[in-house]
Amino acid sequence: CFLYTHTLITDPGLLGSLDIEWKPPPSGQTFNECTVKYRFEYHSAGDRDWKVIFTKKLKVRVGFDLSRTAEVRVQTLLEGRCTEDVEVESDWIYATFQVPLRGKLESEVQNFHCIYHDWEYLKCTWQPGLLTPHSVHYGLYYWYEGLDHAVQCDNYVQEQGMNIGCVLQNLSQAEYKDLSICVNGSAATALLQPLYVTLRIHNLAKPSPPKQLVVSMPAPEELHVAWTPPSGKTPPQCLEYEVQLAEDHGEDKASWAPVSTQMETMLTIYRANQSHTSCVRVRGRTNMFCADQGFWSEWTQECFSVSRKEDKQLFILVPVILSLSSSLIMFMLIGQCKKRSPAGKPLHASAGC
């Protein structure tokens, strides 16, 4: 009943965001007493679900995975007097968009990974695609909302003169937003397929290990463990910690056992068995209040040799006690034997000795 002439998709060169415009329903129809709004849906080819936006505007900018075909559809929703207050939907109008892809799929870079270290810098690495000539030159470009245009990496990680990674600093403005990245390449003899990814860097954070881990024993059955948050720009309130304990029970080989996962930076561990040596290790990662996921830091480890201290004391005390008591015994024996020796019994043979 009411249709549009066309829907236009344009690529502003932001590595993922596309602009989609459409025309209002033909003006021949009068919707004066009705509100006109649009139901806009979009996804990248292969996704099952569509993302939905309701709007009264005739233009949206949304993000896609540009390595796949962008698919959109729009329908008009009318409601008001002209439709007797029933919401009326038009048919869908579909449109698709594909960046001019270049080269074979096997020429795309592989094993692309990024880690946001200490919320300070993002390090991304990749490996050359399978079908890649030696003379290839890779470039990484990125964009997030707030930048006028896509920016090229200015600090590449290189291996034998080839760019195989990039370190991006100063991305705090990109936290909690979509960061669009494209790794493309050029080679004299072949066209290469660009890689497109969209990241949320707060979900890729890896903190440094916790610092100043101190283990103490206020009572024989208690271990008190405390540490401070890692250095770097990781917000301390964004961290959770995992604590593990290994106790050395004489012959048994100590193995790590989980004790706690917590946000506090101290913990008291109650120990059923008072072992010789207790080792505690702690690592951190972003907690669920700040991100969906993240990477664990390396461990910080500290051992506390409770009994070794006692052992040392024993080691000093026992000989003292032994020598004291033996000289006392000797003294008593000598006294006794001296008394007895007049009876003619040899000292060493004396049963009493």
Ligand X SMILES: *[C@@H]1O[C@H](CO)[C@@H](O)[C@H](O)[C@H]1NC(C)=O
**Contact positions vs ligand X (CB under 6 A):** 13, 139, 141, 150, 170, 173, 182, 184, 186, 249, 272-273
CA nearest 306: which of 242, 244, 247?
247
Q: How far apart are CA 25 and CA 83, in angstroms?
A: 15
* Beta carbon nearer to ligand X, 88 or 254: 254
What are the angstrom distances between the C-alpha of 130 and each of 17, 22, 58, 109, 134? 28, 41, 43, 8, 11
Q: Residue 202 phi/psi, 5° resolution?
A: -65, -20
Pairing label, strands 162-169, 121-127: antiparallel
Q: Is the dihedral of CA 332, 337, 338, 340 positive or negative?
A: positive
Beta strands 137-143 and 151-152 are antiparallel
- Quote the least distance from Cβ 294 to ligand X, whole Å: 23
Pairing of strands 70-80, 34-44: antiparallel
Q: Contact, 234 vs 210, CB < 8 A?
A: no
DSSP track, 73-87 = EEEEEEEEGGGTT--
Closer by beta carbon to ligand X, 271 or else 345: 271
Shortest Cβ 50–ligand X spacing (Å)? 27
Q: What six digits make up the tokens of 288?
A: 């669920």
Residue number, 18 or 182, with CB nearest to ligand X: 182
Tokens representing residue 213 in the block: 């881990």
Question: Whole-number minimum distance, CB 28 to ligand X, in Å?
Answer: 42
CB 240 within 8 A of CB 285: yes
Q: Which residues of 139-151 are buried (b: 16+ CB within 10 A; e: fewer)?
A: ebbbbbeeeeebe
What is the nearest approach in angstroms of ligand X to the Cβ of residue 182? 5
| Nearer to ligand X (CB atom), residue 27 or residue 273 | 273
Comparing CB distances to ligand X, the nearer of 13 and 319 is 13
CA distances from 6 to 19, 53, 56, 192 (A): 14, 19, 17, 33
Please, what is the minimum distance in Å from the beta carbon of residue 114 to ligand X? 18
Closest contact distance (angstroms) between CB of 69 and ligand X is 18
Q: Which is nearer to ligand X, 182 or 213 (CB)?
A: 182
Q: Which three-class secondary structure state does DSSP give residue 330?
A: helix
For residue 187, the minimal CB distance to ligand X (Å) is: 9
Q: Which is nearer to ligand X, 32 or 170 (CB)?
A: 170
Give the shortest CB-207-to-ligand X separation in angstroms.
21
Residue 96 vs 173, nearer CB to ligand X: 173
